[in-house]
Amino acid sequence: MGGTLLEKVEQHTRLAGHNRVAMLLFRLGDVQLFGINVFKVREVMRRPPLERLPGGHALLAGSCDYRGQTIPVIDLAAALGYPPLRDEESAHLMVTEFSRSVQGFLVADLQRMVQCAGDKLEAPSATLGFGARVNAVTRVDGALLAVVDVEQVLAGIDAAPAELSLQMQRLAGAHTLAPRRVMVVDDSLIARRRLVDLFKQMNIECVVAQDGGEALERLHELAASDPAEGVKLVVSDIEMPRLDGYALTRAIREAPALCRLKVVLHSSLSGIFNEAMVKEVKADRFVAKFQPDLLAQAVLELLPADALAD
């Protein structure tokens, strides 16, 4: 499967921007299906020999050599409450790229690739018992599919910095700007809070939306009301229920009342396929999560002082 994965991903690339996503399905120890966006997957293979990491996080199964690079390997089964796979010779390794970093995840059984409609992805009910590490659910051939929020898993192992550096704080403070607003769009409560806190450090007010559908509705409402209540820039996640970030950007560009908005796509998705789609939907910038200084720099560049103070 590893040898043909990139070919299959390339075939699915045309779906992005039209609110459809290709998911790689796998299991972690029972019949429950889990999924991950194929844009995040570099390769899949049999579990390689692992070097143990004494004193490492409980979810770290070890490290391995991947094409001449030493990468950490996370036991995804253990992270989701299943028996650990670190000692299972039959386990598979998914090599993934998030926020321009590469790591592997151990899974029990790789399945197949499927296409999912964005408007069929829903936030999971707490009663399903998945917790914060599943951020969406849908149905595939009648079976429940749980989409794993690997960002949450990685954040629990190695949290990214949440504050601006002193240098960037000074740079942002040097701009004498009138009160201004941006829209933050993300289905993760933690991500929304981090972004709101970040923009507070820059004296920027936030309008918050939980997915692309809500964001688009709110943007049209703001555009139809007092211009002073509007926003000049949208910072959006890509992977979201209802309407994803690619489709949201495309909708903004096609709406006469919104097409001049600046759009920053802010996601753990990275790699050549994502870069191609960012250009395809005409986003102004892509910033990998979560890099506060890079995001702040993009905002300052896209909204210079004279524009922000309008």
Interval 176-208: pLDDT, tens: 655 578 999 998 877 888 899 998 888 888 999
Interval 270-308: pLDDT, tens: 655 567 778 888 999 998 888 889 999 999 888 755 544
Instruction: State what percent of residues in the chain have pLDDT above 70.
Output: 85
- pLDDT confidence of residue 159: 63
- Residue 193, classified by CB atoms within 10 Å of its CB into exposed (0-12), middle (13-18) or buried (19+), is middle
Tell me the C-alpha distance between 267 and 244, whole Å: 11
- pLDDT confidence of residue 11: 45
User: Hey, what long-range contacts does 62-68 have (CB within 8 A, 24 or more apart)?
Assistant: 62/86, 64/93, 64/104, 66/95, 66/102, 66/104
pLDDT band at 170 (very low <50, low <70, confident <90, very high): confident
Interval 215-247: pLDDT, tens: 999 999 998 886 666 788 999 998 887 788 888
Residues 6+ apart with CB under 8 A from 7: none
Question: Domain coordinates of the chain in residue numbers?
Answer: 2-156, 166-308
Tell me the C-alpha distance between 107 and 44, whole Å: 10
Compute the C-alpha angle 72/5/150, nearest 5°: 40
For β-strands 143-148 and 69-75, DSSP reports them as: unpaired
Q: Mean per-residue pLDDT for 120-147?
A: 88
Interval 1-55: pLDDT, tens: 444 444 443 444 444 555 677 889 999 989 999 999 887 888 899 999 999 888 8
Most confidently modeled range among 61-75, 139-153, 278-292 = 61-75
- pLDDT confidence of residue 274: 65
Tell me the C-alpha distance between 147 and 120, whole Å: 12
pTM of the model: 0.69
* Class of domain 166-308 (CATH, top level): alpha beta
The domain 2-156 is placed in CATH, from the list 2.40.10.10, 2.40.50.180, 3.40.50.150, 3.30.70.270, at: 2.40.50.180
Amino acid at 111: Q
DSSP string for the chain = -GGGHHHHHHHHGGGTTTTEEEEEEEESSSS-EEEEEGGGEEEEEEPPP-B--TT--TTEEEEEEETTEEEEEEEHHHHTTSPP-TT-TT-EEEEEEETTEEEEEEESEEEEEEEEEGGG-BPPPGGG--GGGEEEEEEETTEEEEEE-HHHHHHHHSPPP-S--HHHHHHHHTS-----EEEEE-S-HHHHHHHHHHHHHTT-EEEEESSHHHHHHHHHHHHHS-GGGS-SEEEE-SS-SSS-HHHHHHHHHH-TTTTTSEEEEEES--SHHHHHHHHHTT-SEEEETT-HHHHHHHHHHHS-HHHHT-
Range in 54-68, 205-219, 236-250, 253-267 the model is least confident about = 236-250
The token duo for 147 is 């989409």
Tell me the C-alpha distance between 17 and 178, whole Å: 34
